[in-house]
Structure 1
Amino acid sequence: MSKLQIILGAGGSGKTEYLIRKALQEAGKDYHRQIYYLVPEQDTLAMQKRIVSHSENQGKGILNVDVLSFQRLYYRAFENTNQKSPLSLDEMGKMMILRLILGKKKKQLSYYQREAESLSFVEECKSQISECMQYKVSPEELRKCAEKSKRSITRAKFLDLAYIYEEFLLYLSKTGRITEEGLADQGISALWKDNTLKDSILIFDGFTGFTPIQLLCIEVLMERAGELYFSLEFSGKNISALGNGKKRESLFYLTEEAIKELYQRGEKLGVEILSPLSLNEIDSRTGEARPEGALLPRFEKIPALQTLVEGFLQGENQEPETKEEQSPKTESMDKSKPYTGGVYPSVPHGISIIEATNISKEVEEACSHIRYLVEERGYRYQEIGVVLPDVELYRDAFFQQGRKFAIPLFLEEDIKLFDSPFSKVLRSALEVMEKGLLYDSFFRYLRAFPYRDMEEEDRIDALENEARAKGLKGKSAFRSLFQEESLLEADALFSLLEENEGSHSLKERIESLESFTERLMALFQLEEEAIFLKNEGMDSLSQSLERSVSQIQLLLSKMKEGLGGIPVNKKEFSAFFDMALSLEKLRQIPATNDQVLVGDLTRSRFHNPKAFLFLGLNAGLIPLPPKKKSLFTEEEKSFLRQEHCTLSPLAWEESYIQEFYLYHAFLSPKEELYLSYPLRIPKGRGGISPILQEVLRLFPKLKIRKLDREIQEMQSFSQAKASLSKELPKLCKKEALFRSEEEVLPYFQLESFQLLHSLWQKEEYKKDLEKLLDAVFWENRHLPLSKELSKELYGEKIRGSVSRLEGLNRCAFFHFLRYGLHLQERKEAEIQAFDLGNLYHKLVESFFKKVKEEKLKGEVLSEHFQEYLNHAIAESEQDPEFAPFLEGGRNQYFLHKFKENAKTILWALERQLSGGDFQVEALERDFNYDSDSLSFRGRVDRVDSYLDEEKNYYLKVLDYKSGNTDFSLDLLKAGLQIQLPLYLSILLEEEKKRHPDYKLHPAGLFYFTMDNPNLSFKGQTEEELFQEKLKASRPKGLINGDKNIIFRMDRELKGDSLLLPVKEKNGSIEEKGSVAKEEKILAMLSYVRERVEEDCKRILEGEKAISPIREAMDKTACTYCPYHSICGFDPNLPGFSYRSLEKGEEEAIWDEWIEKYRKKES
């Protein structure tokens, strides 16, 4: 008959020490008797080292002691019974089989039919089926539970899962495959035949509980082995009640459950159950009784932790009064009754609690403390452990601070193959295969290759600019980019696309991807990336990278062998590959022994480090959130448990389990426990965790160190520099310069200035500090370029267009970047507002070109309107710029809108011309303007003229605008609307030379908005709507107030003009708004000439101030500026502000200009 004994003890009581001694003593008695020492998988290597190096192990060997996990025990049984070890399906294999089943059988489902093929559902389904197999719940049992359920939704869910589960098992049976759960079943069968188990000793150490499959294995071992010992954690002294199942203590719920299960199975099999041994009362090394109040072995150097052992969450949490499966109303850690025992009477040596403002500061302080432990207290890095509630949340901060403090870190997390650089290249290639050759996907693929040199990067940038400018689509279009010089990465992609054109099965697509992978291997610079990661302090990641390539190749091979024959399209193949990559993980191997282990609360194994740092004890992170989603709700899982189909723990049980892991973690260190929490976390609430409040309850004299209220000890220059960067700007504000000596003197007593003074004495820090001080006292100074540099950038004569000067007057820095440094926005082949504007310009030009050729006007012009309109649209469609309108649904909409608007635009322009006596003089009239300092070219959209009998020659200019533009004297005076006035001035000058006998007069300058005005219908007649539409289409601008000229532009003028922005009253014209006397217009044109010369002078003198103008409340020079990321303008920063548009009385502006004009003329 076999024997069973439970070894109980609190954390630090020496349970492992006792069992190792037991194993070595028994092994020495009889070398033919086998001792199996079972531990969790991740502890096997560490336990082997510990046993070999133990002081009781005289021979330093383990001849008849085997350290195994449950899985290794199965493989050992296969070996001992001469059975071939079966290959089990991994998680990826399960998902692919389920994906195949769901694709074929989804119509058989009722509740899950819609989401059957989504990857998230497949993954949840895989997890739920694995859980059922692990807990020995069959499809038939699920069906029985469905029949008993009164809720239709629950019934449908159970039936759907039972059907999928059954189909999954049927597929495994047909193909001869097994899962890891199936491997355990075969391993248990092999254990029955393994003769080495006879009279053997089995020791189970490091387990917190056992799954149903592990318990089945233990049942076999109870019948086959001689003695079984189980170590379990328990800090109480009353051990006689353990295992009777009458009540649970929240903290040791797992221990309670494990003992109950072991005792029930032992009693059923007739095993001799020995009394539990409590190491809380017996010394694990000597076997003698422990004196009352004596410290446990681990806590000899940190006695305060004994208080945690005896008091941490020791209030009794009552079992739920309702059925077993009902969860408590509040979380267990919030409802535990106060511990009635003592609290620690003094300040606890070796325990500290730190409060930081955020995660970054928290990690910085932790790394600073690690540095202190190593440099000042002589710790090795491997003697320090760090535990985190959320490794992903803290990862970046730890890598950053680890580099800063030169700390070798081993972050214990699985790296998803999905995130490896090589995977990114393959996934980006598959995206091109799935979506087609578009420049976004194509250049994402090219940029997925890491560590190109600058020349290669510049070439790809140039290729992308060219592709976007041309709007390339399709393979032939992209091949044209590489006619002069090929690119191997592009060639490999083109080959992959060609090979997949005729592929249908998963195997064929995988083979083409394997060929693609082989071609990439020569291109992928693994060595450079590995070196980069090592230089960044990520040695473990560097090793993982090199393994990731072979792992991906193995993954493709497994996919091909498993489901190679199934047909898949490109989209499905891409989804399969993403799914496989997301499931495959790379376990990191420590690059060296001497590293700080950074891990999580439940999976990582910390072998009693000297110092233990627990970060993230924030109320939003601890208690931990649920680990994963489940197909079943808590209520449904409770119902299953009622029907004796127990699955994973319920939420209230998880809270007990979590408390236990926290308790276990707090008792890990031998010399120091460091606890910290951030006040703020991303997307979560802040504040101290309730579990930390429990620690403070036990240690009332322990004070929280609040980092924002103290000057931290600096462990590195980079830390000191960061502190100075934060503190000095607060103390060195402008107003400090005007304070008295008595007011300023206290500043120099502050820690920040003392630190600055101390560092300034060291020569190696001076250059960095000078840069820091320059940054602290930097402000936006309007320093111009030197005249020599201006001459180099702009030349001796300013060239360009008038819009260049308008850009200068909006913001001089914009002008410097655009025309000095020639920075341009990337061109893209997509229809934008200016594209439509260009087409409208050409349409109008084509229409009026025909009018000018035929010399039509008045009613005759109106009669030919439709003919000329059709001609203009037909001619526009032949223009190369029209081609993009013919591609894509969005552009087709623009085409429709373009034709609709064109009719209204040309109708309005035709009415405005035919309603007067002016004729089209010129279309797209080019101008050149030369002076000593500048040479400008320009083009006005249309010039109309009228010549009367007395040779008075009237000229007006018309500028077509895509957006709504109004004439403003304030904008003109500020230099923001000088283009059209300058063109009119040059036109008058040129026409005077051509017609010296004519008397030249400015008739006006107009802005015409090329748009279809939106009018509200309020029961108007057709004639009234016609008049409203014509009135809404009137041009805006400035018109000569001579009524003879105005009536030549609108022959039928009466009241409000339908053609011009003027109003007639009793035969006279009101001179206001858009109407001005001729002298005013000439004075304005003279001002514009002077303004242009002044602006050129400013450019040549090197003006480049970051000083944008505010034109209106909702419009500034920055509104559409593409250079904001370069200038960094922020009106909230010192030295930055908008210039206000000067607004004056119109008459005052006119008077000023007329006075200057008259002086000049005289």
Structure 2
Amino acid sequence: MAHIISGAAGSGKTTALYSLLKTDKGNKVLLVPDQFVFESERRVADELDEKTSGIMVTGFMSLAEKILKKYCPRKIYADSTAKLAIMNRAVKSLAESFDFYGSAAKKPGFVSVCLSGVETLKSAGISSQKLYDIIAEDSTVSSAPAHFTDKMHDIALFYSLYDKMLTELYDDRQDNLLLAARTIAENDCFPKNTRVYIDGFDSFSGAQKEFLRAMADKGVDFTVAVCTNDSGAEIFSECDKTKALFENQYAMDCGKPQKTEYTKFGDSAVRYKNDTLRVLRDLLQGGKAGKPADPHGVTLAYSRNMSGEADFVCANIRKLVRCEGYRYSDIAVICAAPAKYRDAVRSAALRYEVPIFADLPEPVSEKPLLRYLDCLLCAAEEPTGIKVLRYIRSGFARIPSDKKEGKTVPLTLRDQHIVEEYANRWDLKNRRWDRPFPHITDDAEKAVENIRDKIVSPLTEFEKSVRNVGGKELVRRFTEFLFDKADISAAIQGKCQDNSTRQLRYVKELTEEYNNLWRNVSDMLTSLYETLDDTPMTIGELAALIRTCSAQINLSRPPKVLDSVLFGDPARTRSRDVRAVFVMGAADGAFPGIRTDDNGIFTADDNEFLAQSGLDINEDEDAEYSLAVLDCYKALTLAGEKLFVTFAGEPENASEYVGETAKLIGTDIVNIDELPPLYLMESAKSADRQYVLNGTALTAPQKRAVTEALTECGRENTAISRINAAAERRADGADIHRIGETAKLVFPSSSLSPTAIEKLNGCKFSYFLQYGMELRSPFDITMSAVNYGSIMHYIMKYSFERLYANAKDNGNPHAGEDTIKQLVAEAMTEYREKYLLGESEMSAKFNTLYRALSTAAFYLLKYMTAELENSRFVPTYFELTLSKASSVDEFDASPYSFDITLDDGSTQTVTIGGTVDRVDMAYGDDGSRQIRVIDYKTGKKEASLSRIYYGLDLQLLLYLLTLSDNNKDNGCQPSAAMYYPAGKTPLKDIKDPSEELKRGMWLDSHRETGFAVEGTQQELERDNYNGKYIDQNGKQKYECLYSATTIEKTKLANLESRIAKVIKENAGKVKSGCVDAKPLSENGVAISCKYCEYKDICGAGISSATDVNSEDAAAFSEDIVLSEESK
């Protein structure tokens, strides 16, 4: 018999269910979702007293395990690592048999996608044989496309083999529900007077339905609490389907239909102590507000960013606890995208001293220890410079001690630095490090070689020892290597130590975290050892398998204190007597939003074809959306007293629920960013932060209030102290920085790139931090200006090498549009294969921008090749690297080199290398050659001699002058150093322009800038830049679009002398320890400070800066530039 308890949110359904549970004299089972078992057990203990002994509180999987343990012999359950290892074996053995997947089966991540697909099928109660049967049916063959049957055949193939391999060693929890259902049918698993009480479910999976059906057929009775008010409202559509299951399919007694009992609470509202929340609930479920509601207890707010949103939430939690007597456990924070908000909330919680328990999975793959294992295996497999340096930087690498035999010591920061410096100097990052370094001439270089040997030798020995061994043996030897050679125990202990004291102390929190983490790693390696067989496995394959396995293992973090705020998503958050709820991330498209944890291997079309054949893998889109809407309803109706709803963005980004709520209660949405700073000052740290952020906006009384608040907290008013101290320093030489003898450590003799020289000349302090201390921010693979430029450079090199291979002897060829399009497509395909992840692994935005880049590349090549057809310049060298003793076809490409004298009288040699995008040669009839260097720029770049005068924008001129000087004995002389705009094109937006107008518009939007030497070939070809274009007023104009600055030939030596002087002076100061924060400025703006990451700590002000538009710079420019009269 079924007893259905129904009612809207907060109507008292669960309370009624517990009352029935308490009075029931028979055998009782309380069935709840797995994540709610602990809380339900606690509630049973609190409410039912001594009656609890006869109640089993369980989830579906635990109940199935109990049944199987009693009636069936069981093996050890396979964990996620064992499953992935077995799926890896299955896919590897079937790779040649796949009709649909083919080579895709060898790609990273395919194994985890396959396992996810199989577990989805098992959850839905679908076996591999059912898939084979569906494929074989005539209706499927005739109606489904061929690729569908091929795909399902491949899935059934690895599903069946995986299942076979798995059951030889383990049992799978995913099979438990179906196995338990069969066991219930074959045995008397429950006493005759058993009733199952079901609470917390909105819907059931296919396997859960089979389990319930088996129980119903054996005469088990059900009492189920369902969130619906019998109104037929759309928001309850999925709950109504669940209710119908118990009315029809499960209302049976040994196969005979039985009467269904009902307890209906309708729209009762026992939860709400605030009538506004009841009215809001009625509105959300499709009803009408019974009476006008006021905004009491409901707050709606938004901020520009998640950090501001999190500050607002934590500040109000503190207000509730401090001013209104709430406990933290009375409060819940529900987030539409908790993984996205997690870091912002944790950071704010620390500032506001709010204890928050985040009920979120945290994969161990994100932890440094797992990255270390990956770096170790990658370096052992192929010990190239880049991979070994990644291993060194991991923070866990250790080397044998010189003082104590058999002991290891950690690599120091100095060790890392000198190895990286040496690798940069001799360009060793792409070379293998399993042989001695070249150029070992002094003690410092011998020290570098000693470190290399201690790092790499154990790795290469390990690699040799595991060649051609099976997976099981590889895992065993790898584990031995971790303990015997890598000394992982000491490495982990080092991470747990308190470095603030010289005494040996361990930080409790770190020790607990690493103990937990190592237990997971140890279990993973043990599981791999037990699961893998003697099939040969490479180090690379093991590394990939560990990456995949670790991504599936989550760290468990119990609450640090019992009285804490629960932070989770709408579907997982369930608590009794929640007084206040904060709903974060309530933005349009995210609240409600369809869950993104899709089935991976199954597309929407696959699901549709399978559903037509009677195999329902998951809910359809309408059902998923209904469940998402129901989650939102539950989140907004959970609070008994106060509700706060927040989102990030602008007011128009608000979810429809925010708008409806604001309209109902007649209130505005609060702009968090415009709140008074004192509103967010609810703790010492938060007050400290708000003082720093809003110091200039605070009035004198507000500042006094902050000081008093901090004093009351017993904390040092650090923000005020820091700000006042900074103000004093700024007034007294805050921009003066001296590092003395430290300069020799952080600036050893080395080669410099033009970018480094630019930074050095622009601001010595910024250069010191970036290149001396190596303080840099990480970056992602996005379509930034840097990546756009790299891709465009690659296309140019690829295309020009093929177009102009024979141009020296035959002249520059004509390049047709079809040829250009083909070259662009080939170059982009090759670039993706070499430097990017697969298209499926990059973001949709990146892929779209990547494909769109081909348009700009096409026009760029079209008009560049058109110009070159009429030019004597022949593109000759591409991506030419200036390095020691470098030459290409007898063309000397040695770097710029000079000596500087330091303050202590010592001399140091400095070289400036780099890579030239393109070098063109104009061949004279007398055998002479003129050099033109080209630099592609994605943005606008002006050629300014005033900036050159102070050491900025030297790169192109340095390249030109250096290459000309290196090869002057071979008849080479400088002609031009040009910036060529390689950014986006406006031509795609112009409808049907003439070819002449197209060319002119291109020249106008891509005007080459730079410097040309008087009387050289670049100057003689000025007429090649004549063209028609459309001005700002929409009128067509025809003029010469040549815009290079012409340098008098007789004054070229003056230019070269000035460049050498400014580089030597600045390099000498820096290497002598003077790293002052005295940047260069232009038009009142500090040039180097615009995008500088260090401007908050340098102490520089605009008064410290030197203006590049000085009289000296102007006079220099006027002296060497060819006058208009001379032209």
Please indicate, yes or no, whether the TM-score normalized by the shorter chain is above 0.5: yes
CA RMSD of aligned residues (A): 5.8
SS in 2 for 1:1140: coil
SS in 1 for 2:301: strand
Between 648-657 and 34-43, the greater mean CA deviation after superposition: 34-43
Contact 1:618/1:678, CA 8 A, preserved across alignment: yes
Contact 2:358/2:566, CA 8 A, preserved across alignment: yes
Residues 1034 and 1135 of structure 1, relative CA distance in 2, 3 Å threshold: closer
Rounded to whole Å, the distance in 2 between the matches of 1:927 and 1:411 is 59
Match of 2:412 among 453, 456, 467: 456
Match of 1:394 among 341, 357, 361: 341
SS in 1 for 2:639: coil
Match of 1:280 among 265, 277, 282: 265
- Look up the match of 2:964: 1009
Indicate whether 1:720 and 2:671 are aligned: no
What does residue range 987-1002 of structure 1 map to in structure 2 within 5 Å? none
Match of 2:387 among 409, 424, 441: 441
What does residue range 21-420 of structure 1 map to in structure 2 within 5 Å? 21-27=19-25, 33-54=26-47, 56-57=48-49, 60-81=50-71, 83-137=72-126, 138-143=130-135, 144=137, 146-172=140-166, 175=168, 177-191=170-184, 192-236=186-230, 249-266=233-250, 270-280=255-265, 296-299=269-272, 301-314=273-286, 339=287, 341-342=288-289, 344-420=291-367
Aligned AA for 2:688? K
Residues 608 and 121 of structure 1, relative CA distance in 2, 3 Å threshold: farther
- Look up the match of 2:1080: 1108
CA offsets, 1:804-835, max 9 Å, x none? xxx99998886799999995999xxxxxxxxx
CA offsets, 1:93-129, max 9 Å, x none? 3333333233232333332213122243333332222
Contact 1:1031/1:1058, CA 8 A, preserved across alignment: no
Residues 225 and 44 of structure 1, relative CA distance in 2, 3 Å threshold: farther
Contact 1:203/1:229, CA 8 A, preserved across alignment: yes
Rounded to whole Å, the distance in 1 between the matches of 2:116 and 2:674 is 48
TM-score, scaled relative to structure 2: 0.66
Rounded to whole Å, the distance in 1 between the matches of 2:1066 and 2:1101 is 31
Q: CA deviation at 1:507?
A: 0.8
Aligned AA for 1:190? T
CA offsets, 1:672-692, max 9 Å, x none? 222111226xxxx96101122
- Look up the match of 1:465: 421
What does residue range 812-961 of structure 1 map to in structure 2 within 5 Å? 899-900=887-888, 902=890
Indicate whether 1:429 and 2:376 are aligned: yes
What does residue range 500-649 of structure 1 map to in structure 2 within 5 Å? 500=466, 502-519=467-484, 520-526=487-493, 529=496, 543-630=512-599, 631-649=601-619
- Look up the match of 2:620: 650
Indicate whether 1:662 and 2:632 are aligned: yes
Match of 1:10 among 8, 11, 16: 8
Rounded to whole Å, the distance in 1 between the matches of 2:514 and 2:724 is 41
Residues 103 and 764 of structure 1, relative CA distance in 2, 3 Å threshold: closer
SS in 1 for 2:571: coil
Rounded to whole Å, the distance in 1 between the matches of 2:527 and 2:908 is 69
Rounded to whole Å, the distance in 1 between the matches of 2:1070 and 2:175 is 84
Aligned AA for 1:612? V
Aligned AA for 2:278? Q
Aligned AA for 1:253? S
Rounded to whole Å, the distance in 1 between the matches of 2:897 and 2:378 is 50
CA offsets, 1:1070-1108, max 9 Å, x none? xx95569xxxx99x99xx99xx99999999999957143
CA offsets, 1:567-594, max 9 Å, x none? 2222222111111111122232223312
SS in 2 for 1:676: strand
Q: CA deviation at 1:46?
A: 1.8
Aligned AA for 2:421? N
Rounded to whole Å, the distance in 2 between the matches of 1:1147 and 1:494 is 58
Residues 599 and 527 of structure 1, relative CA distance in 2, 3 Å threshold: farther
Aligned AA for 1:671? E
Contact 2:901/2:1068, CA 8 A, preserved across alignment: no
- Look up the match of 2:442: none
Between 608-617 and 650-659, the greater mean CA deviation after superposition: 608-617
Aligned AA for 1:306? R
- Look up the match of 1:696: 662
CA offsets, 1:62-108, max 9 Å, x none? 22221122222223223444x43343434443333333233232333
CA offsets, 1:459-500, max 9 Å, x none? 333344345545374334389758878999877645533432
Residues 689 and 80 of structure 1, relative CA distance in 2, 3 Å threshold: same
Q: CA deviation at 1:511?
A: 0.6
CA offsets, 1:1109-1129, max 9 Å, x none? 88x99x99969x999958989
Residues 532 and 46 of structure 1, relative CA distance in 2, 3 Å threshold: farther
Residues 362 and 77 of structure 1, relative CA distance in 2, 3 Å threshold: same
Rounded to whole Å, the distance in 2 between the matches of 1:197 and 1:508 is 50
- Look up the match of 2:799: none
Residues 147 and 87 of structure 1, relative CA distance in 2, 3 Å threshold: farther
SS in 1 for 2:421: helix
Contact 1:539/1:591, CA 8 A, preserved across alignment: no
Rounded to whole Å, the distance in 2 between the matches of 1:1147 and 1:624 is 61
Contact 1:410/1:540, CA 8 A, preserved across alignment: no
Rounded to whole Å, the distance in 2 between the matches of 1:634 and 1:90 is 29
SS in 1 for 2:357: strand
Rounded to whole Å, the distance in 2 between the matches of 1:26 and 1:969 is 90
The number of residues matched between the two structures is 874
Rounded to whole Å, the distance in 2 between the matches of 1:549 and 1:810 is 43
Contact 1:510/1:556, CA 8 A, preserved across alignment: yes
Contact 2:336/2:590, CA 8 A, preserved across alignment: yes
Contact 2:318/2:682, CA 8 A, preserved across alignment: yes
Q: CA deviation at 1:777?
A: 8.7
Residues 271 and 700 of structure 1, relative CA distance in 2, 3 Å threshold: farther
What does residue range 1061-1140 of structure 1 map to in structure 2 within 5 Å? 1073=1048, 1106-1108=1078-1080, 1136=1105, 1138-1140=1107-1109
Residues 638 and 696 of structure 1, relative CA distance in 2, 3 Å threshold: farther
Residues 765 and 127 of structure 1, relative CA distance in 2, 3 Å threshold: closer
Residues 346 and 179 of structure 1, relative CA distance in 2, 3 Å threshold: same
Residues 280 and 454 of structure 1, relative CA distance in 2, 3 Å threshold: same
Indicate whether 1:475 and 2:470 are aligned: no
Contact 1:99/1:122, CA 8 A, preserved across alignment: yes
User: Once the two structures are aligned, what percentage of the paired residues are identical?
Assistant: 15
Q: CA deviation at 1:539?
A: 8.9
Rounded to whole Å, the distance in 2 between the matches of 1:810 and 1:637 is 57
Contact 1:612/1:669, CA 8 A, preserved across alignment: yes
Rounded to whole Å, the distance in 1 between the matches of 2:59 and 2:150 is 39
Contact 1:254/1:657, CA 8 A, preserved across alignment: yes
SS in 2 for 1:53: helix
Residues 115 and 541 of structure 1, relative CA distance in 2, 3 Å threshold: farther
Give unmatched runs, 5+ long, in structure 1.
28-32, 239-247, 282-292, 315-338, 732-746, 827-888, 907-923, 941-959, 978-1005, 1014-1025, 1037-1055, 1062-1071, 1151-1162
Rounded to whole Å, the distance in 2 between the matches of 1:381 and 1:928 is 65
CA offsets, 1:13-72, max 9 Å, x none? 222222222222123xxxxx4211211112222222211221x53xx3522221122222
Aligned AA for 2:687? A
- Look up the match of 1:737: none
Rounded to whole Å, the distance in 1 between the matches of 2:450 and 2:515 is 35
